Structures are given as C-alpha cells and as structure tokens.
C-alpha cells in the first residue's frame, strides 16, 4: 500500500512538472511572437532612431521667505539628453528621452521656519550639487521644409541633491547649536531634501529645433518642474516655493539623409 502511494505521488509530481514545462514553453513562444515585430523593426534602425544633444540653461527657483532671506536664485546649468524614437510616421513621432541637468548652489537652514533656503556665500552652511534627472515622453512635430520641429514633453523627474558642508568656513561656524552650527544645518538640509519624496518633481515643457547648418540643430527649451510632494507632506513653505522653471538652448547633431 505504501509503495502504491509512493508511485501515485511520483506520477502526480511528474505530471505536474510536465504541465509546468508545457505552460512555460507556451509563454516563451508567446513572448517571442509578441516581441519579434518590435525586434525586427528596431534592430537594424536603433542607431538611426537614436538622438543626443547637449544643453545650457538658466534655472529659476522661486521662493517667498520674507525679508530675512537672500534673493531667489537664478542658476546656470549644463546638461545633456539621449532619446530613442520608437514610434511614428515621418511627420509625427514619439521619443523616449533621458535628460540630465547639473547645477550647484549654497544653502542655509532657517531654524525658525524649519526648512532650507538658498543663500548667498556669506550666509552659507551647505553646498548643494543637484542632478535634475528626467525620463520623459517626447512628441516631435516637424514643420516647414527646413527640418525644423516642435517638441512637447512630460514625464517624471528627480532632483538628486548631493549635500555637503560648505568649504572655507570659519572654525566658529562649526560650534554651537543648530542656529549657528553649519555642520548641524548641513545635516538638517540633507534630511529635509531626501525625506518625504521631496526629490520627486515631474516636469513638462516645450521646445523647438531649427537647423543652423548641415550638421546641427539649434533648439530652445522651456520647462517647468512641479513640487507634487506638497500634496502629501506637511509643507511649511510658500505656495511658490519648490517650483522650478528653466529656459535654455540645446544643440543636436542632425541625421544624415
């Protein structure tokens, strides 16, 4: 009786393994059939549909922190982007684009208000190096006979900030409590920027590209970043604080026809 049960269990397990293998084979065949058209369409044309550019921008960080604060910062930034055109007819198409904008600014921590503020060098506690990284869907609409095009884009973006103690501080700036201690303020700034999803701010924008010669396109970009974290945090900043606006240029190599 025992041997009979063992044989039945062995047969049952073997049957289950065969069923699982059959299901896996069917799924594998389905995936191959599903992705084969995409692979065949893009394998030979990936480089033809790949675009890159470098850019320079002015970033405006509006704020309303009262008379005791330093002026709202307008910062230069440098960046680049890489895009893959994955769908569309010649007159309209979509691209998946990765963008990177790099900026830096001094910050202080306002203990009374409970959040960091951009500051002039004389009031600095921390040095912030920011990497504005975006992953966006871009719609490209060519117009005219000169290969000019308009771009409309939106998608998630991430302000990845490296927060370090400001350089060349006086030794007295590293003593006392958080009101005057730059090291304690730097820790508070870092904690604030990296908590409650304050690094997540979706972006949207509009751009236009014009050919300047046979090799390059010159583009103008206008962008906005939205502080959506205000919806789920107990944010004490002004309504305009946290928004980002940018205007700049980009240079894109042209595809050879």
Whether residue 160 sits in one domain with residue 52: yes
- Tell me: do 141 and 30 sit in the same domain: no
**Same domain assignment for residues 31 and 152:** no
β partners of residue 131: 102, 160
Give the separation between CA 234 and CA 156, rounded to whole angstroms: 22
pLDDT digits (tens, 9 = 90+) for 95-119: 999 999 999 999 999 998 899 999 9
Q: 123 with 221, same domain? A: yes
Residues 155 and 223 in one domain: yes
Query: What pLDDT, on the 0 to 100 scale, is given for residue 40?
Result: 43
Average pLDDT taken over every residue of the chain:
85
CATH number at residue 203: 2.40.160.20
- Spatial distance between the Cα atoms of 178 and 12, rounded to a whole number of angstroms: 69
- Are 37 and 54 part of one and the same domain? no
With a CB cutoff of 8 Å and minimum separation 6, the contacts of 94 are 85, 86, 87, 88, 137, 138, 139, 140
pLDDT in tens, 18-75: 655 554 555 555 544 544 444 444 444 667 789 999 999 999 999 988 877 889 999 9
Q: What is the spatial distance between Cα 116 and Cα 163, in angstroms, rounded to a whole number?
A: 12
Domain count of the fold of the chain: 2
Q: What is the span of the domain harbouring residue 30?
A: 1-44
Q: 19 and 98, same structural domain?
A: no
Same domain assignment for residues 191 and 94: yes
């Amino acid at each position: 009786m025992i041997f009979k049960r063992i044989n039945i269990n062995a047969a049952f397990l073997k049957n289950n393994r065969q069923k699982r293998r059959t299901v896996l084979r069917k799924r594998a065949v389905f995936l191959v059939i599903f992705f084969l058209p995409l692979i065949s369409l893009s394998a030979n044309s990936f480089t033809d549909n790949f675009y890159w550019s470098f850019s320079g921008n002015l970033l405006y960080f509006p704020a309303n922190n009262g008379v005791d604060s330093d002026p709202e910062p307008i910062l230069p930034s440098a960046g680049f982007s890489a895009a893959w055109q994955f769908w569309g007819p010649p007159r309209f198409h979509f691209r998946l684009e990765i963008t990177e904008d790099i900026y830096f600014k001094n910050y202080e921590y306002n203990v009374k208000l409970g959040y960091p503020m951009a500051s002039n060098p004389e009031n600095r506690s921390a040095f912030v190096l920011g990497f504005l990284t975006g992953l966006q869907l871009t719609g490209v609409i060519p117009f005219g006979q000169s290969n000019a095009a308009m771009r409309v884009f939106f998608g998630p973006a991430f302000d990845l900030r490296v927060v370090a103690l400001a350089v060349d501080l006086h030794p007295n700036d590293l003593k006392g409590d958080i009101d005057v201690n730059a090291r304690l303020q730097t820790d508070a700034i870092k904690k604030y920027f990296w908590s409650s999803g304050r690094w997540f701010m979706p972006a949207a924008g509009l751009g236009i590209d014009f050919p300047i010669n046979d090799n390059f396109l010159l583009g103008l970009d206008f962008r906005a970043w939205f502080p959506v974290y205000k919806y789920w945090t107990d944010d004490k900043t002004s309504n305009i604080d946290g928004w980002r606006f940018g205007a700049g240029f980009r240079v894109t190599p042209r595809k050879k026809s």
